[in-house]
Amino acid sequence: MSYRGDNLIFIISQPKAGSTLLQRIVAGHPDIQTSAETWLMLHPVYGLRKTGIETRYNANWAATGVREFLDHYADGEETYREGVRRFAETIYGSVLEKHGKRLFLDKTPRYTMIVDELYELFPAAKYILLIRNPLAVLKSELHTYVKGDWPMLSQFKPDLLDAPGRLVAARSKLGDAALEVRYEDLVTSPESTVRPLCEFLGIEFDSGLLDYSDTPAPKGRMNDPVGIHRHTAPSPGSLDKWKELGADRQLRHFALQYLAAIGDETVTALGYDPGELRREIEQAAVEQETRHVYPWQLAIRPCKRWGLRDHVASAYILAAQAEGRLAGIRAVLKVLGKRIRGGFGRLVR
């Protein structure tokens, strides 16, 4: 019988939603092997996609060629899917055999992009849908990775804008193959959250799972570099830190625009009250000097799609925020100078 992923567990979540914490807890069970984020299934799944992937060899042409090959000389896309299943069985299976474990836990947040295909490939796998307040996710992304370099926010556009809706859709798509876990419940009521999770996964609950001080951190750089190391057990200490977004004019702008971008329907479907989230952000506002605000729409748009006006605006605001208006003007002149020199260089070549 074809491999259907009966020894696999997938955590499906946004980045910074607590997936590293949940992973460390579950990985403390003797039946389970995990690693840092594998990103393993993204390439095989995207092999049939014409969009969403950039390659030197032209991914659009490649997808067309593969599909034509499968249609004319094999049994269509199902042949490819079966090949992917065998690929996964070989790699995941070898890891389990090497470490003497029964189940492999794959925690790769960008699997939100391929959750439908994962379920079609591995209907016997277990899926954990981890949900967290989207403003808490935004706050953590800004604090951990962006750190004031606002254009970097665009690198997380799929995680911020696409993932919430995909998580909502996955509920009905996956059905009984998935269990929803809410981050807020995990840190405030860990035992009552982890116990039914263990039952769902078919492993025995042990209260020792909630203290991960002796559970080795997964090897690899693709993991949470900050939060998980502050504690050895679930802690509600950072539960309300997202409210700090409201105290800063720039971050408040991002927070309110982010809620608008996701949409009230999706925020509500995730289990949060969008009106209450907005009120909390707006109530946290404090009086402060007028400050240049970097536009959300510019920050979330990839730099490669910017025009000259966008580059000028970005340079001015970043410099003005850091050092004042005159620094902003100097930054603009520098951008224009580079553009002029570049244009002149193309003319004389």
What is the tens place of the pLDDT at every residue in 133-179? 999 999 999 999 999 999 999 999 999 999 999 999 999 999 999 99
CA distance 252 to 112: 27
Q: Is residue 104 situated within a structural domain?
A: yes
Region 261-269: mean pLDDT is 98
Number of domains observed in the structure of the chain: 2
Q: How confident is the model at residue 348 (pLDDT cuts 50, 70, 90)?
A: very low
User: Do residues 112 and 230 both lie within one domain?
Assistant: yes
Is 276 inside a domain boundary?
Answer: no
Please list the alpha-helical segments (H only) found in the chain: 19-26, 42-46, 59-73, 77-99, 115-121, 134-141, 157, 163-174, 183-188, 190-201, 249-262, 264-270, 274-283, 296-299, 308-323, 325-348
Q: Does the pLDDT value for residue 345 go beyond 60?
A: no
Q: How far apart are CA 182 and CA 161, in angstroms?
A: 19
How far apart are the C-alpha atoms of 180 and 271, rounded to whole Å? Answer: 11
Q: Across residues 66-81, what is the average pLDDT? A: 96
Can you tell me the mean pLDDT for 211-232? 76
pLDDT at 70 over 90: yes
Does 242 reside within a domain? Answer: no
Residue 29 confidence class, pLDDT cut points 50, 70, 90: very high
Q: Are 13 and 19 in contact (CB under 8 A)?
A: yes
pLDDT at 63 over 70: yes
How far is CA 304 from each of CA 115, 158, 221, 257, rounded to the nearest angstrom?
28, 16, 27, 22
Query: Which pLDDT band, with edges at 50, 70 and 90, does 76 fall under?
Result: very high
* Angle between helix 308-323 and helix 325-348 axes, rounded to 10 deg: 150
Same domain membership, residue 201 and residue 76:
yes
Q: Is residue 243 part of a domain?
A: no
| Res 346 pLDDT > 90 | no
Mean pLDDT of 208-219: 90
Please check whether residue 1 lies inside any domain of the structure: no
- Would you say 177 and 108 are in contact if contact means Cβ atoms under 8 Å apart? no
Supply the pLDDT for residue 289: 60
Domain boundary residue among 217, 234, 251?
234
- Residue 243: how many CB atoms within 10 A of its CB? 17
- Asked if pLDDT for residue 109 goes beyond 90, the answer is yes
Residues 205 and 101 in one domain: yes
In a domain, 261, yes or no: no
The Cα–Cα gap between 66 and 77 comes to: 9
Helices (H) and strands (E) in the chain, counts: 16, 5
Structural domain contains residue 293: no
Q: Which of 234, 256, 276 is the last residue of a domain?
A: 234
Q: What is the pLDDT of residue 284?
A: 83
The structure's pTM equals 0.92
Rg (CA), the chain: 23
pLDDT of 119 higher than 50:
yes
The verdict on 166 and 18 lying in the same domain is: yes
Question: Lowest mean pLDDT: which of 182-191, 208-217, 219-228?
Answer: 219-228
Both 317 and 223 in a single domain?
no
Domain holding 333, by residue range, is: 306-349
295: in domain: no
One domain, residues 178 and 321: no
